[in-house]
Homo-oligomer: A and B are copies of this chain.
Amino acid sequence: MESVDAILALAALSQATRLDVFRLLVKHEPGGLPAGDIAKTLAVPANTMSAHLAVLTRAGLVSPRRHGRSIVYRADLDRLRTVMLFLLRDCCGGRPEICSALMADLDPCCPSPASVEGPIS
């Protein structure tokens, strides 16, 4: 990932409404949510929300798919992972001891990978 892409993603998430949108969409994975529902849930006018969704889409953090009359948005977790990798690499750059401290601290947020190797229910 290039700096310019990372900056786009960071900028997209550094705005309260858009961060809320992204969190909402993560909560609604993998089904996604229509633009109208997102706007209603967060109490933002439809056109304003549309502008925010466009920013998130340009940043690659969400993706739209038409479904009948609605346009359903989904969070792109892969993109978030890429952004986080970019940040981590910046820190690691020749300094593995820093990175592993980060990793160790990140771990408790999740169960060990071994425990989730089965199919996702």
Say yes or no: A103 contacts B99, CB within 8 Å.
Answer: no
A37 at the interface (CB under 8 A from B): no
From DSSP, what is the main secondary structure of chain A's interface residues? Answer: helix
Chain A stretch 86-121: residues in CB contact (< 8 A) with chain B:
87-107, 109-113, 115-116, 120
Say yes or no: B103 contacts A106, CB within 8 Å.
Answer: yes
Bound together, the chains give a CA A55 to CA B105 distance in angstroms of 26
Interface residues as binary, A1-37 with B (CB distance below 8 Å gives 1, 0 otherwise) = 0011011101101111001001100110100000000
Question: Which residues from chain A sit less than 8 Å from chain B, CB to CB?
Answer: 3-4, 6-8, 10-11, 13-16, 19, 22-23, 26-27, 29, 77, 80-81, 84-85, 87-107, 109-113, 115-116, 120
